Structure 1
Amino acid sequence: MRRRLRIALFSHDSLGLGHIRRNRALAFALARDLPALTGREVSGLLIASSPEAARFDLPTGWDWVILPGVTPAAGGYAPRALASSMQGLRALRAAAISAILDQQRPELFIVDRHPFGIGGELAEAIDQVRDHGCRTVLGLREVLDTPSVIEAEWDKVGGPAHVADRFDEVWIYGDAAVYDPRPTGEVPVSLAAKAVTTGYLSQDRPDDGGSTPAEIGTDRFVLTCLGGGSDGGSLASVAVDAKPPDGLRHLIVTGPQMDAEEFDRLRARAGAATTVIRHSHDIPGLVASAEAVVCMGGYNTLAELMSTTTPALVVPRKGHRAEQPRRAFALAATGAVDARTIDSLSTDVLSEWFAAQSGQLTDRSHIDLTGLVTVPRLAAELIDAEQAAAPISDTAPAAAVAEPSPAPATAARLPITLEETSHAV
């Protein structure tokens, strides 16, 4: 029998749960489809740096590796909890990553969003795995930020050509007909030549195996969910006073990263028809069961939402990045969701929206949601190309491999701007 195919996925995990859940969904898709596509059993590691990762199960033969964490800080990042300088933490994380990958010897390494991690912590490890014949992929959300912000970020890590030299392919987890980051410059020319859009990572996501909270039981309900919760306070403050439609309850899931005092204040404000909980093991199941949902504009939240027909009002976070507003209003332009800025939302507006949308269905079949089927196929093609060039040995590094041919570009569409609000409520 051919030896087991080993895969590694990395996320820096500085804010929210989206990076964790995105890589977990990829792991399940690769574990499900790659054995048939390659004729080999598959195992893998997910390298993350959030303790919340341990809440989520993985396919058989896969495991988490949790690094000491970082958190956003003025001008960059800071250690989340460890008593260390950022320089010291970066050195610790870099050494751990290199040791893990040297031991595992993956044949495919997928890096989420930040090509070299925090402060270049991945640079040595990427060169190391490529010397072993590993294929490397940079996975990107479909929306990154305003082009000027992203241009500065590419320059900070050595420029797009430097990134392109170290990655065999770039996978953009979206539908170019909704939002294409290549013509905007968010994915520059040298990286766009290696890029392909996969479709949103929506359909065939893993079953989280949760259940409806006991406070809701079999009651019909509307839902407000805030992702990880660290930046959901403004939306939660509006939602907690919203009146659910007659005969329905309102469930608010704040996310495990919301500040404890803020969570306690929300629970104290909640009316008799509103239930506030910190965490659910099955947010996708709740979204699918709800009569209507209001949420923020993170990639993972919307990717999970779009596999349902539940009406949705997206209220992107304000500040930090322009990513969420650009995504929310681009999807609103297609009719997949409604969208509002937090400044234009009030308790009355939200109550009226719940009343109008509850029990309705939203058709999202025009959006490409097949990323979790496309990614295993792309992975198999990349691995097969490597094997054709130089099969990987357990005992000796593989020979250098040729770069793959540029992926064909899909149809381009410039993103909608915040001023184009004709499809927003």
Structure 2
Amino acid sequence: MIPRLDNARILMYSHDTFGLGHLRRCREIAHALVDAYHGLSVMIISGTTIAGAFDYRVRVDFVKIPSVIKLRNGEYQSMAQHTSLEDTLEIRRAIIRHTAETFRPDIFITDKEPMGLHGEIEETLAFLKTRGTRLVLGLREIMDAPEFLGPEWERKDLLRKVEAYYDAIWVYGPEGFHDPLSGLAVSETIRSRMRYTGFLRRSQIQSEGTQIRPQGDYLLVTTGGGGDGAELIQNVFAAHRQDRRLCPTFVVLGPYLPIKERAEFIAAAADLPRIEVIEFDNRLEDLVAGSVGVVGMGGYNTFCEILSFDRPALIVPRTRPRMEQAIRALRAEELGLARVMPSEVATDPERMAKMLRDLPTAPRPSLSRLAREAGFLNLNGQQSIAQDVGKWLRAPPNPLLQAVKNSS
């Protein structure tokens, strides 16, 4: 019997300024929670332009806020060119606050950015705190190199604010794999609220309406949203020109790959018979599961998919604007979970071709004794999160929150 949590509500915030990682992580958690508890509903606040391109389970929905994009130099700009960044942020703040007031969540979960983009959720956090809502911060297992994360968090006064607002902190990875706040002066209070959940397991979807699926053995090349993936795709194309006998390769360009590069890759693929290209697939899990190897940049979601489907992987991480992917890639390499190629080496067609030739027969992650014995193949993130949510929502109701619900 699936337990019931009738009328329980969870609101999730995903700022989504670059790529699809934040929304996809929130969606995985939301789906796991409604599967675990009947009667519970989840609303996701998302800034991604293609939030509606994904399927959502019953009792999971999203609120779209105006989109903001993060540029390569770390600055932000509104996706609507006729609207200033300041006006866009003000609209976002208003929608977030109004959604929280109307939805009246029992739990509010923030993905990665403790105060949101440019502090846009701090007002909402303060409001929900007065209403008795449980506030939860979810962090990737790797945020950034300490020399970059430390000054950023100090400038924004985030350690103090995290301690003041958040009741719990989920780290979406196994303990010991990496400390997301390494190098920061983290208080014992914050440490006591941190829970390492394990990685978020991915499952095949195989629902109706899926896009084209390659036949036979193939390597999958994915760069997530694609906004910074052009160089890796170009290097894979160059390797295929170097060796036209490489394993058939299926390339997902990503929705945020610039239009010019997208058109160039589609045209170039016509001259490379062992490369097939599509622009986007909202069921990437099926493509990973069907592949004989994955070539990617080492983002969180791709890494979880590599582990979940136990696929040999070649990771070519980016190092700007964050070191997150490079840190994850090197950690995976030292544990025997993936092969890593620095981006400057990947530009050599001969060396890239050799890596692609060897990838289908490379060891799978499950063969890493070191990772297995250390518990780093823990993919129980959703179960850990569901346990916490059930424990919190079965506890005697917070009088403040109960009074708000009774008055509505």
* TM-score of the pair, normalised by structure 2: 0.89
**Can you list the C-alpha shifts for 1:50-105, whole angstroms capped at 9, x where unaligned?**
12111111120221111001112456322122522222222111111111110000
Check conservation: 2:5, 2:393, Cα contact below 8 A: no
Q: How does 1:202-221 map to 2 (within 5 A)?
A: 202-204=201-203, 211=210, 213=212, 216=214, 218-221=215-218
Deviates more, 1:102-111 or 1:299-308: 299-308
- The whole-number CA distance in structure 2 between the counterparts of 1:109 and 1:280 is 29
Match for residue 29 of structure 1 among 26, 29, 32: 32
Query: Distance in 2 between the 1:310 and 1:175 partners?
Result: 19
Does the alignment pair 1:358 with 2:360?
yes
Q: Is 1:13 matched with 2:5?
A: no
Task: Write out aligned runs for 1:120-159 (5 A).
Answer: 120-159=119-158
CA contact (8 A) 2:141 2:179 kept: yes
**Contact 2:18-2:227 within 8 A present in 1 as well:** yes
The separation in 1 between residues aligned to 2:208 and 2:198, in whole angstroms, is: 25
**Cα distance change, pair 212–369 in 1 and its aligned pair in 2 (3 A):** same
1:6 is matched by which residue type in structure 2? Answer: R
Q: What does residue 165 of structure 1 align with?
A: 164
Q: Supply the distance in 1 between the matched residues of 2:405 and 2:360 (Cα, whole angstroms).
A: 60
Corresponding position of 2:229: 232
Judging changes above 3 Å, is the alpha-carbon distance between structure 1 residues 226 and 13 closer, same or farther for their aligned structure 2 residues? same
Q: CA deviation at 1:120?
A: 1.4
How many residues align? The count is 391
Preserved CA contact (<8 Å) 1:212 1:286: no
CA distance in 1, matches of 2:137, 2:204: 20
Cα-to-partner distance string for 1:230-269 (whole Å, 9 max, x where unaligned): 0001101101122378584211111011011101111222
Shift of residue 183, structure 1, vs aligned partner: 4.4
Asked whether the 8 Å contact 1:311–1:361 carries over to 2, the reply is yes
SS at match of 2:288: helix
What's the CA shift for 1:191? Answer: 2.5
Distance 1:340 1:329 in 2: 10
Query: Helix, strand or coil for the counterpart of 2:30?
Result: helix
Q: Which moved more, 1:129-138 or 1:101-110?
A: 129-138
Q: CA separation of 1:186/1:379 partners in 2, compared to 1, >3 Å: closer, same or farther?
A: farther
Q: Distance in 2 between matches of 1:102 and 1:125?
A: 9
Q: Match of 2:116, SS?
A: coil
Percent identity between the two aligned chains: 28
Structure 2 unmatched ranges of 5 or more: none
> Letter of the aligned partner of 1:357 in structure 2?
L
Change (3 A) 1:84 1:189: farther
Cα distance per residue 1:145-173 (max 9 Å; x no partner): 11122122222332312221101000000
1-structure distance, mates of 2:51, 2:187 = 32
Amino acid at match of 1:242: A
Change in Cα spacing, 1:369 to 1:204, as seen in structure 2 (3 Å) is same
Counterpart of 1:52 (choices 50, 53, 56) is 50
Structure 1 stretches lacking a partner, 5+ long: 36-40, 399-425
Q: Which has the higher contact order (CA 8 A, sep 6+)?
A: 1
Aligned residue for 2:337?
Answer: 336
State whether residues 202 and 285 of structure 2, in contact with CA within 8 Å, keep that contact through their aligned partners in structure 1: no
Are 2:119 and 1:116 aligned? no
Distance of 2:407 and 2:157 partners within structure 1: 27
- For the 8 Å contact 1:210–1:281, the answer to whether it is kept is no
Deviation at 1:127, TM superposition (A): 1.4
Partner of 1:85: 84
CA distance in 2, matches of 1:66, 1:99: 13
Match of 2:178 in 1: 179
Structure 1 residues 257-302: Cα deviation after superposition (integer angstroms, max 9, x where no partner): 1011101111222211111211123211111111111101111111
Report the more deviating stretch, 225-234 or 190-199.
190-199
The residue identity in structure 2 corresponding to 1:10 is: Y
Which position in structure 2 is the counterpart of 1:325? 326
Q: Aligned partners of 2:156, 2:316: CA distance in 1, in Å?
A: 31
User: 1:332, CA displacement in angstroms?
Assistant: 1.4
CA distance in 1, matches of 2:179, 2:405: 42
Distance 1:308 1:260, change over 3 A: same
Task: Report if the CA contact (8 A) 1:239-1:350 is conserved.
Answer: yes
Give per-residue Cα distances to partners, 1:340-387, cap 9 Å, x unaligned: 111111322222222223155503372111101111111222333462
Moved more, 51-60 or 242-251: 242-251
Shift of 1:139: 0.3
Residue aligned with 2:232, SS: helix
- Relative to its length, the structure with more helix (as a share) is 2
What secondary structure is seen at the aligned counterpart in 1 of 2:95?
A: helix
Are residues 18 and 205 of structure 1, via their aligned partners in 2, closer, same or farther at CA, if it must alter by over 3 Å? farther
Q: CA deviation at 1:185?
A: 2.8
2: CA distance, partners of 1:146 / 1:256: 28
Residue pairs, 1:238-387, within 5 angstroms: 238-243=235-240, 246=245, 248-270=247-269, 271-345=272-346, 346-359=348-361, 362-364=364-366, 366=372, 367-385=377-395, 387=397
8 A contact 1:209–1:282 mirrored in 2: no
Q: Note closer, same or farther for the CA distance 1:203–1:265 as it changes in structure 2 (3 Å cut).
A: closer
2:60 maps to which of 49, 57, 62: 62
Counterpart Cα distance in 2 of 1:188 and 1:206: 41
